[in-house]
Amino acid sequence: MPSGGFAALGVPAPLVAALASRGIDAPFPIQSATLPDSLAGRDVLGRGRTGSGKTVAFALPTVTRLLGSGTARQPGRPRALVLVPTRELAVQVNETIDALARPAGLRTLVIVGGVGQNPQVQALRQGIDVLVATPGRLEDLIAQGHARLDRVEVTVLDEADHMADLGFLPAVRRLMDATPKDGQRLLFSATLDAGVDVLVGRYLRSPVTHSVDSAASAPPAMEHHVMNVASDDKFTVVRELVSGHGRTLAFTRTKHGAKKLAKQLTASGVPAVDLHGNLSQAARQRNLTAFSEGSVRVLVATDIAARGIHVDDVGLVVHVDPPAEHKAYLHRSGRTARAGSDGVVVTVGTPDQRGDLRTLMRQASITPTQHSVAPGAHVIRELAGPAAAFVAPAPVSTTPAPKASRPASTGGASRSRARGRRGR
């Protein structure tokens, strides 16, 4: 839970005010632990699960360092670099940093693939203070002569373990080698696998390590359930689960499965959008925005979203297709019970998956509540929350899900459902 104040940790007053204007008044544990060292210019290794507040933990010292250094912007030569594994995460990290940097006169820029590079090149030419980038596109622009990293004063590696999982470590090492050796380095990761250890040993100088929780376990405020269903009942049970008023993430294994389920849910009266690698970057961002703003309350995603997005008030995560291994289960599940909130995780399993599910939960050190259910079961209504719709599905339409234009608030419903769970 949050405790203390940012000013007491050494955060400059203008940045404390900028945080307060966004409703952030007290630091979370990862911020309280790392900020005294990172603000003092030390290299820091921060370990904490997704949703623990790491973005603010590295945004504050990055902006503070740039404000204090007094160096001027130069075309194509950013003063700070934040490397992240996914496009969606880059956009969201930049939003947090920009809210602190812009009032202080600093410029930020996102560089990711999947979109045209010309606007990125033009912005680089105008001079950038903080560059938030995925490794591939940044390497492309450097190779073309549009960017250099020799003026970087602070380098941040966010979700370093996920970058290792995605095979980005060779690119990360090349980019890190291009930054000045005397710059400050901040590395944040949920786990310290072998690949991350190599980065720490090679690039961080006498790092101060802070670990605020066990990254290999689920948050204590997270409920875990397994619903054993007949194969023919699976879609109806999933639809009932996601039909409450709260914000829900549903995970599938394949891109086709995510697209199909989003269409089926929308056609049956539960507006949903999908998020997967077959969508253009513009479509991915549009669907994510609709979900985060509340105009659509169900997001059906592949594992691209398990570590790539940060959305508040996700009260329910549904594993429509159980993941192949326990790390993916924990990463997916970490979309709920974020930043001190509670949440519910439901895995929907068919008879042929029971053995694999037992193994998965044992490896994740999870003891879920088991349910054998059919459509309309009372426990589905309990977990789905208010206004769960138990109606027969309509014929599935082949037209894309309509774009909603008017956001609807969902946070209150999520909190109401959370209070109900705690009271049981």
Q: What is the DSSP letter of 77?
A: B
Residue 402's pLDDT is what? 43
Does 90 score more than 50 pLDDT? yes
Residue 21 has pLDDT above 50, yes or no: yes
Neighbours of 413 (CB within 10 A): 21
Give the integer Cα–Cα distance in Å for 177 and 158. Answer: 17
* Count of other CB atoms within 10 angstroms of residue 402: 10
Least confident of 153-157, 217-221, 304-308: 217-221
**pLDDT category of residue 352 using cuts at 50, 70 and 90:** very high
Place of tokens 């940044």: 138
Nearest to residue 5, comparing CAs of 60, 44, 47, 55?
A: 60
Contacts of 420 (CB under 8 A, 6+ apart): 385
Question: What is the per-residue pLDDT across 94-139, written as a single tens digit (0 to 9) for each?
Answer: 999 999 999 999 999 999 988 899 999 999 999 999 999 999 999 9
Mean pLDDT across 337-355: 81
DSSP sequence for 13-71: HHHHHHHHHTT--S--HHHHHHHHHHHTT--EEEE--TTSSHHHHHHHHHHHHHHHH-P
pLDDT (mean) for 394-404: 41
- pTM of the shown model: 0.68
How confident is the model at residue 279, as a pLDDT?
85
> Sheet of 369-372: strands edge to edge?
272-275, 298-301, 247-251, 314-319, 343-349, 222-228, 369-372
With vertex at residue 143, the alpha carbon angle to CA 139 and CA 144, rounded to the nearest 5 degrees, is: 120
CB atoms within 10 A of CB 378: 8
List beta partners, residue 347. 226, 319
**Long-range contact pairs involving 325-329 (C-beta distance under 8 Å, separation at least 24):** 325/360, 325/363, 326/360, 326/363, 326/364, 327/191, 328/303, 329/360, 329/364, 329/366
SS3 call for 261: helix
- 155 has pLDDT over 90: yes
CATH T-level fold of 7-211: Rossmann fold (3.40.50)
Determine which helix (DSSP H) or strand (DSSP E) holds 397, and give its type and residue range: none
Mind listing the pLDDT tens digit for each residue in 258-272?
Answer: 999 999 999 999 999
Range scoring the smallest mean pLDDT among 95-104, 315-324, 390-399: 390-399
Rounded percentage of the chain residues whose pLDDT exceeds 70: 84
Residues 6+ apart with CB under 8 A from 261: 235, 238, 250, 252, 272, 274, 300, 320
Structure token digits, residue 204 = 């961080």
Which amino acid belongs to residue 281? Q
How does pLDDT run across 191-246, given as a tens digit for each residue? 777 688 889 999 999 999 998 764 444 455 688 999 999 999 999 999 999 998 78
- Residue 342 confidence (pLDDT): 67
Q: Where are the domains of the chain?
A: 7-211, 222-423
What CATH class does 222-423 carry?
alpha beta
Beta pairing, strands 222-228 & 369-372:
parallel
Averaged over 4-24, what is the pLDDT?
Answer: 91
| Least confident span in 133-137, 218-222, 300-304, 416-420 | 416-420
Answer for the pair 162, 88: CB distance below 8 angstroms, yes or no: no
Per DSSP, 191 falls in state: -
DSSP H helices in 127-185: 135-143, 160-165, 169-177
The yes-or-no verdict on residue 14 having pLDDT over 90 is yes
pLDDT at 412: 39
Q: Is 202 exposed, middle or buried (0-12, 13-18, 19+ CB in 10 A)?
A: exposed
What is the structure's pLDDT at 394? 40
Average pLDDT, the chain: 85
One fold for both 7-211 and 222-423? yes
